């Protein structure tokens, strides 16, 4: 589950995956950490796995290569293991401190100062270990280091009589170790050849480039790249947060416009005039129908006006309320237009649905399908649960046998366009509005949205 950019700005969302606009969307174990906020616990866990999963096979490969070459196996443990420990401390030590700082919830400026401090501290501590291991490696591999000589003398048990003292007792390993150490110092100083003066300049630039490469590697391993990525990620989250806030504001604006348009349709002079005209014409000839029209009008206003007030600031409504409003509206239309018949069926008792969408489809069917038609007409409202790619979906279908697409409207009105925009803003590509001609005549308007649960109202 992904979280919103606003919540990712706080340390409480450290275990959540980044939103799609920020995440690297990587499933590789080497780069999976980039799917999570930098300096979070989950990010650090995947980063440590990637490092150890690379380091251990590399050490094993080096050991096998040395074994195949017949190299002294002690060199591997004296040289490569300390270097591996130094690199691990450099790569994970400062990052672990940065994760700890990130969990403190400091203000942004203070957090930045603390992150830079702990990463620099981790770099310095690791550099001490790194250069110590490097110095030991240089002595062991380039100058026949005294320590290695002493080890060879001790483990071989057969020191060179010309390079050891005759007074060294056999089996006294400490004396052998001391003698080998002194002999190694002497041999190392004798093997150091003086460098010609004309090579000083080339040695300087060689050392400069080597130092530059090593410094870049150290900064990268110690978290310099991660600090830049943290800054870039935070800026992207701010941009995403601003974008989503803008989208929410636009969705709220469209919601308000739709509510106003529906409210206007409910009380517009045309609607009231037709209703009251039907009452007036029926009073003298069909008083019972006039009373029924007034009763249905009251029921409709009682069902819709509280719903407008309750759902005015919400992005979700109740299916049961919308079905009640649809039934009241169609009853009113049936009293006004006796040739109209209708049915309202639902396979599910209640669900969370966007407000005012179902009634908008019904009003659209009455206005553009039923009223222009001559003769009997029927509207069927059906709500069912279907499965699309093994995901439960709610399907709301409004079918009429009116004039169809050949009438006054082809399905591209303002109300339907508003529904398209609202569905896209709320559900993305998981929801749809489909208009299609029915073989027996008329139009079927179908809204499909994800089935979401909603707590029952008290």
Task: Note if the pTM is more than 0.85.
Answer: no
d(C-alpha 439, C-alpha 431), whole Å: 25
CA separation, residue 68 to residues 72, 81, 250 (Å) = 11, 19, 69
Q: What is the pLDDT of residues 181-194, one digit of tens each?
A: 555 555 555 555 55
**Spatial separation of the C-alpha atoms in residues 257 and 367, rounded to whole Å:** 19
Confidence at residue 455, expressed as pLDDT on a 0 to 100 scale: 44
Distances (CA, A) of 419 to 43, 119, 314, 413: 40, 51, 15, 10
* pLDDT average, residue stretch 320-326: 88
Tell me the Cα Rg of the chain.
40
What is the rounded average pLDDT for all residues in the chain?
A: 75
Helices (H), 70-169: 73-75, 81-88, 94-104, 108-142, 146-156
Torsion of CA 3, 9, 14, 17, to 10 degrees: 30
* pLDDT given for residue 382 in this prediction: 95
| Cα distance between residue 192 and residue 142, in whole Å | 10
pLDDT (tens digit per residue) in 198-253: 555 566 666 666 767 767 777 777 777 888 888 888 888 888 888 888 887 777 76
Dump pLDDT digits (tens) for 387-441.
887 789 999 999 999 888 865 544 445 568 878 888 887 888 889 999 999 988 8
């Amino acid at each position: 589950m992904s979280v919103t950019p606003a919540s990712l700005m706080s340390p409480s969302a450290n275990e959540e995956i980044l939103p799609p606009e920020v995440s690297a969307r990587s499933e590789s174990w080497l780069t999976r950490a980039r799917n999570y906020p930098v300096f979070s616990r989950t990010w650090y866990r995947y980063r440590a796995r990637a490092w150890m999963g690379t380091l251990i096979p590399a050490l094993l490969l080096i050991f096998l290569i040395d074994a195949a070459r017949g190299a002294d196996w002690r060199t591997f443990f004296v040289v490569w293991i300390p270097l591996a420990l130094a690199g691990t401390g450099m790569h994970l030590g400062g990052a672990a401190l940065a994760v700890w700082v990130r969990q403190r919830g400091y203000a942004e400026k203070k957090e930045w100062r603390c992150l830079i401090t702990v990463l620099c501290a981790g770099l310095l501590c690791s550099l001490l270990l790194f250069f110590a291991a490097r110095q030991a490696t240089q002595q062991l591999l380039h100058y026949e280091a005294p320590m290695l000589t002493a080890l060879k003398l001790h483990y071989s048990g057969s020191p060179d009589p010309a390079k050891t003292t005759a007074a060294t007792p056999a089996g006294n390993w400490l004396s052998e170790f001391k003698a080998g150490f002194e002999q190694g110092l002497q041999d190392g100083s004798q093997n150091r050849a003086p460098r010609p003066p004309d090579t000083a300049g080339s040695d300087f630039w060689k050392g400069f480039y080597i130092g530059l490469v090593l410094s870049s590697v150290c900064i990268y391993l110690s978290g310099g790249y991660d600090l830049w990525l943290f800054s870039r990620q935070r800026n992207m989250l701010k941009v995403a947060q601003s974008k989503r806030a803008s989208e929410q504001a636009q969705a709220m604006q469209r919601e308000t416009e739709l509510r106003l348009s529906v409210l206007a349709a409910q009380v517009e002079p045309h609607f009231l005039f037709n209703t009251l005209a039907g009452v007036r014409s029926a009073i003298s000839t069909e008083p019972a129908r006039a009373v029924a029209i007034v009763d249905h009008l009251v029921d409709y206003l009682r069902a819709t006006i509280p719903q407008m007030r309750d759902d005015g600031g919400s992005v979700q409504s109740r299916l049961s309320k919308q079905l009640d409003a649809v039934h009241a509206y169609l009853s009113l239309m049936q009293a006004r237009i006796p040739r109209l018949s209708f049915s309202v069926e639902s396979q599910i008792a209640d669900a969370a649905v966007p407000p005012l969408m179902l009634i908008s489809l019904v009003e659209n069917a009455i206005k553009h399908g039923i009223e222009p038609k001559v003769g009997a007409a029927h509207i069927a409202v059906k709500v069912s649960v279907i499965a699309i790619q093994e995901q439960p979906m709610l399907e709301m279908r409004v079918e009429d046998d009116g004039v169809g697409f050949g009438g006054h409207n082809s399905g591209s009105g303002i109300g339907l366009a508003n529904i398209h925009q609202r569905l896209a803003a709320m559900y993305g590509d998981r929801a749809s509005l489909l208009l299609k001609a029915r073989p027996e005549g008329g139009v079927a308007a179908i809204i499909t949205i994800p089935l979401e649960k909603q707590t029952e109202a008290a």
